[in-house]
A and B are shown apart, each in its own frame.
Chain A
């Protein structure tokens, strides 16, 4: 199904990038976690009362009363979405755009490896990185929570929260991948796919900032990731399934186009 030598090469080549992102995520996770106060009601809440629209825009409308809700609000609402998205865009640039732009794809195609297999390898590597990022970030939060606030984190809602985030990231990653594979100019394709992801985020921020813009939530797949509901034990896993299904379709489409297109190498 995939080319192992290529997968290994990408893994070796991306280690540094992944470590850097792991560091950034760890930094944010630990800083935000130390700000959690089980008694609540102090600084963050005061700031939120002072400028509710701004907080709402970043998905921090309700700080929640439990640790899980707090995390969903302050990390999963924005940071844990945007940082991995940046990683996925950088990865698409490495895995697809770089090879096509520089012409090194010619070497991969001069081996007895079918095109679909090369594309599938790159897609899988991207998915693995996206999922690993969530596993890492979620795991880190769980460990830090257990150390700092034993027994406060609700396991099942927290797991479902991470699962849905992973599915959403897969969908955003697949958009970048499809863009890079489908357009004659791969770089522009990635700009289009990545740009669309950014637009989705902006639309969600706008939709959350006031009732006037609420209807915008129907234009962005981010709405399917209802972090607050999931954290408080509600919500369903159907949206996660839908996001993952969408990602699978877009990745398949990217591989399909890549197999049939002209490559100017």
Chain B
């Protein structure tokens, strides 16, 4: 009963291959767990089960040892939730919405609300209807975090946020983790998850392709380094020294996985008076080709 989230053989069959099939995974206390997969892979459907919105066709989902559907209300006292499909109560202002949600949660300590609004530079006086996508997302985030919950379920939390606010969000996540909160978040971009997650579950077409430690994924990941040299001769000498390098005039491209020796590569490039270098992190498709197989 140590798992905060325990999902066993969870299946929801919507027909025509849509849904989620036989998902099994656990999330431990204090862990940051990522859900990675393209749109329609079943990330949101899984989170809906955890929230008790829908009942599984087969299998079960439990949070803190309680059934996610039958004991949803009891579970919610410990959970902060951010929906992926963000629709707010448009008749309210940002502050009015947060106040209402705090009342619904029976919260008396509202100190976190002010701190969170400060962190995200959120002006809550505006009507929700008139807010931009990013501002609405901030309202949703404040709402999810304001009760300082034990478990956070965040469906695509950074969508709509600008890079600065995305950094603020990562800060917040790490702080919550340090406080001891367990966090599950979903995304379709590995970069977003790799900064925060201890482990990442990769979903594909409703099935769990893998659950890996983020560290291992990073190591298995291929990055492309493009070096520019002052002359084609220097480029040729460099590419000759590194098997697998491909040369195009005076620039050379080398694909490197995290396990290979970067310092050796850089030393070789420096020997040929390298003038410029760019790094391409590679797309999700490349990074997880092994897990994803053929795209459908």
A interface residue numbers (CB < 8 A to B): 3, 5-6, 9, 13, 102-104, 106-115, 117, 262-265
Contacts and interface: CB of A to CB of B under 8 A. Distances in A.
A114 B77 CA distance: 11
Nearest to B79: A110
Interface string B77-119: 1011101010111010000000011011110000000000000
Given A13-B91, A115-B72, A115-B73, A109 B54 contact: no
Nearest to B73: A114
A102 B85 CA distance: 10
B53 interface: yes
Given A103-B83, A107-B143, A109-B76, A5 B53 contact: no
B53 A112 contact: no
Nearest to B74: A112
Contact of B73 (A103, A112, A262): A112
B148 interface: no
29 contacts: A3-B104, A5-B103, A5-B104, A13-B91, A104-B88, A106-B51, A106-B81, A107-B88, A107-B104, A107-B143, A108-B104, A109-B52, A109-B72, A110-B79, A110-B83, A111-B101, A111-B104, A111-B105, A112-B76, A112-B77, A112-B105, A113-B76, A114-B72, A114-B73, A115-B72, A117-B73, A263-B53, A264-B53, A264-B54
B53 A262 contact: yes
Contacts of A265: 48, 53, 83, 85
Given A109-B76, A111-B76, A111-B105, 20 more contacts: A3-B104, A5-B103, A5-B104, A104-B88, A106-B53, A107-B88, A107-B104, A108-B104, A109-B52, A110-B76, A110-B79, A110-B80, A110-B83, A111-B104, A112-B73, A115-B72, A117-B73, A262-B53, A262-B54, A265-B48
A110 B51 contact: yes
Contacts of B177: none
A113 B73 contact: yes
Nearest to A12: B91
A196 to B, nearest CB: 28
